[in-house]
Structure 1
Amino acid sequence: MIATHKALNRIAAVALAAVISACASNDEKEDTDPVELMEISESVQLREVWSQGIGDIDALRYAMLKPGIIDGKVIAANSDGDVFAFDRTSGKRQWKVDIDQSISGGVGVGLGIAVVADYRGRIVALNLNDGSQRWTTQLSGEVVATPAVGSGMVVVQTVDGKLLGLDATTGEQRWRHNTVLPVLTLRGTASPVISAGMVFAGLDNGKLIALNAADGLTRWEQRVAIPQGTAELDRVVDVDGTPLVRGELVFAASYQGRAVALSRDDGRGLWARDASTNHGVTVGAGQVFLSGADGTVHAYNVGNGQVQWTNSELLRRQLSGPAYFGDVVVVGDLDGYLHALDPSTGRIVGRTRIDRDPVRIPLLADGDLLFALSDDGELVALRLER
């Protein structure tokens, strides 16, 4: 979804989509249909361990309410304001609270708290043990990304281009970093990441930035994508996926831009490859995996970025970002399917359906379990079997 920061971004995005759709010929419409799924020979199975219905996720406003996992708990939220804690292994509910506002961003976990945000820019921190409210802070802008928790801070990215560092104990604002936004951007913002005392955040202007977590001072800034063309649509290069930190490297990818591997400490580029996605990447088996905006799935060599394979069997199926789970790569799609791909060949080796609504929210691999949340609010834990 595209948004303009001049005025009425959501209405403009809907109108733009309607115009594009109305202008398409019959032949063009055939090319925009999701491909039908072909039968596969399954060598792995994603078996449901438990599931819980938590309530709807607001897909119209592109809420990406990724659950958080910590201390044997799965913390999940719906768009109506409910936050839940479930036992990671059994799925048994441990607590539920209602923050009395529509939740737009979350769930960030760490330092004994779970953090969510609402559409009015209110940040709420809850006690991980019982869901009681620890603090609340009002920000100036809407938040649709998951807050990052770590290094004594809660870091939040707003849709109006601000990165804010809040004290994790009190919620008091400690620092702010401002970014000048392009005229036109994708709806949504990247979730920041805290690692080794640094904050890494993808920006709507196609850059990745690293800040000191304690004071917000800039450590480095690197361009992931360079806007191309004269039309504003052609120049949209948002980094909307969460950056991925692995050891001394940080990985990121942009819409209509590139996938990159950078040095964590100074932002020096290791490699870059043309790519277009509104998700983050995942790493496993010596490779970087990416689900493209067109429904392709790609694997790159983690050391030099060389393309290992590309799978085009899921074109236009509105894939989620990939998760490396066990020894397969898993993506969700618009019809509630999860597809397991062989990381060596890209061949689809397993498939299961958890819902009839889309699975857009990033998948979470945690040890022997994979967690998926559909737009209909079906939270499912799965195990890989052969």
Structure 2
Amino acid sequence: MGFLNRAAGRTAAVALAVALAACASNEEKEDVDPVELVDINSTVSLQEVWSADVGGIDEKRYAMLQPSLAGGRIVAASSDGDVTAFDRNTGQALWETDLDVDLSGGVGVGDGIAVVSDYRGLVIAVDLDSGSQLWKYQVSGEVVSAPAVGSGVVVLQTVDGKLVGLDAASGEQLWSHNTNLPVLTLRGTAAPVISGGMVIAGLDNGKLLALDARDGVQRWEQRVAIPQGTAELERVVDIDGSPVVRGDLVFAASYQGRVVALSKDNGRGLWARDASTHHEVAVGGGHVYLSDASGGVYAYNVGSGQIVWNNNELLRRELSGPAFFQDVVVVGDLEGYLHVLDPNTGQFIGREQVDGDAIRIPMLVDDDLMFVLSDDGKLSALRLAGY
């Protein structure tokens, strides 16, 4: 079977996981349909400030084209190779570049550049002010997550298990770090992050890895999830969500594994709880928020990891990762709905449908605006009202 064929996509991975759960009981038939939404008493709303069409996102091949913010602009990309910069406040297009490739990973911004990549592992950097192409570099494997850009380095994670550091100015390779891939993995890789001169990356083998951004020398490695069971599918423990750094702590979660809080300096664990997710967590208001693989939403105490609440009213709706926005929690779903939850109780306090297609790509929060990109390429800037 190989690894869960990276051309097959996350849908195949989720389908197999559901099938596995169904096999756990021969007496009951597992319900695989998304739960239907029921009316709620909305006390807040997400109001559209502006929206724009950036071009479609290839969800079948799990393109993870998350927009990025820098210098008062938001840069977004489509699977067809269009990269566009918009004014953060008004949505006015500042420049657009057609790279004439099928993009799969991006967008990473920093050091005056925006970086994307394609299914062949071609990495392309454009000028953040003009969109003009600056350099290209070919890495060894497909890239389906955003690169990290900072400290003069561009860092990418490839599907063949490599972390690669490129010079942000020239695109020349500075270092490479190989990791061991399991027999079977989910489609996708976690986007690395750069913090304090350190690269922190979640791996398909269920580990978090910290490297020096300048030379790729390993600082620490910590296991988030331990593979369980005898079947290869049961042993899948990918970290597909980007690690989240808050102060001196790193938060991350894996599929069929755990959600953890670790020291950024040395990787030592503060706490760990059983969990299963394809996404990154969100942190805010004293809690860590997680949407799990079945559609449950959880809040954990940021200091102890104790569960504060969980909401199981969105099961099988293929939730996005959560966002902590203006003191509320927001998750997207397969029908383009955004669900707003009270961060203290987990109760629904608002709901908006921003598009008819899935909200799968991580949402981006910047002060008073939240940016949401649907799979059909609608980029929306939203503001919270009524809270």
Q: Same fold (TM over 0.5)?
A: yes
- Distance (whole Å) between structure 2 residues aligned to residue 17 and residue 324 of structure 1: 25
Alignment CA distance shift 1:22-1:317 (3 Å): closer
2: distance between equivalents of 1:243 and 1:268?
15
Structure 2 distance, partners of 1:275, 1:16, is 17
Alignment partners' CA distance in 2, 1:147 and 1:257: 25
Residue 58 in 1 paired to residue 58 in 2?
A: yes
1:207-261 superposed Cα distances (whole Å, 9 cap, x missing partner) = 0000000000000000000000000000000000000000000000000000000
- The alignment status of 1:207 with 2:204, answered yes or no, reads no
In structure 2, what residue type is equivalent to 1:92?
Q
Query: Partners of 1:48 and 1:206 in 2: how far apart?
Result: 38
Match of 1:167 in 2: 167
- Aligned CA distance change for structure 1 residues 221 and 22 (closer, same or farther; 3 Å): closer
2:275 aligned partner, one-letter code: A
- Determine the C-alpha separation between the residues in 1 that align with 2:312 and 2:146: 30
Counterpart of 1:95 in structure 2 is: 95
Seen in structure 2, the aligned counterparts of structure 1 residues 315 and 77 have a Cα distance that, compared at 3 Å, is same
Query: When the two structures are superposed, what TM-score results if normalisation uses the length of structure 1?
Result: 0.95
Shift of 1:116: 0.2
Q: Label 1:130 to 1:12 Cα distance change in 2 as closer, same or farther (>3 A).
A: closer
Task: Answer yes or no: is the 8 Å Cα contact 1:4–1:12 preserved in 2.
Answer: no
**CA contact 1:189–1:204 (8 Å) conserved in 2:** yes
Q: Give the unaligned 5+ runs of structure 2.
A: none
CA deviation after TM superposition for structure 1 residue 5, in Å: 3.8
Instruction: State the distance in 2 between where 1:176 and 1:353 align.
Output: 42
Find out whether 1:247 has 2:266 as its counterpart. Answer: no
The 1:9–1:75 alpha-carbon spacing in structure 2 relative to 1, beyond 3 Å, is closer
Amino acid at match of 2:55: G
* Residues in 1 aligned to 2:171 and 2:320: alpha-carbon distance in whole angstroms: 32
1:378 Cα deviation (Å)? 0.5
Whole-Å separation in 1 of the counterparts to 2:10 and 2:237: 16
Q: CA deviation at 1:152?
A: 0.7
> Which residue matches 2:111?
111
Which residue of structure 2 lines up, in the alignment, with residue 128 of structure 1? 128
Identity of aligned residues (%): 66
Determine the C-alpha separation between the residues in 1 that align with 2:31 and 2:280: 26
Deviation for aligned residue 1:94: 0.6
| Structure 1 unaligned blocks of 5 or more | none
Q: CA deviation at 1:17?
A: 7.4
Alignment match, 2:287: 287
Residue 10 (str. 1) matches residue 7 (str. 2): yes
Match of residue 298 from structure 2: 298
What displacement does 1:21 show?
8.4
Contact kept? 2:155, 2:166, Cα under 8 Å: yes
CA distance in 2, matches of 1:267, 1:302: 16
Equivalent position SS for 1:32: coil
Alpha-carbon distance, 1:362 to partner: 0.3
Cα deviation, 1:177-221, whole Å, max 9, x if unaligned, reads 001100100000000000000000000000000000000000000
Cα 1:27–1:100 shift into 2, 3 Å: farther
Quickly say closer, same or farther: Cα 1:60–1:15, change in 2 above 3 A: closer
- Does the CA contact (< 8 Å) of 1:4 and 1:13 recur in 2? no
| Paired residue total | 383
Distance 2:231 2:72 in 1: 49
Contact 2:10 2:188 in 1 (8 A): no
1:222 — aligned with what?
222
The TM-score normalised by the length of structure 2 is 0.95
In the other structure, the counterpart of 2:258 is 258
Partner of 1:44: 44
Is the alpha carbon distance of 1:260 and 1:320 closer, same or farther for their aligned partners in structure 2, counting shifts above 3 Å? Answer: same
Q: Distance in 2 between matches of 1:215 and 1:18?
A: 40
Q: Deviations over 1:38-79 (max 9, x none)?
A: 111011100000000111100000111100011110100000
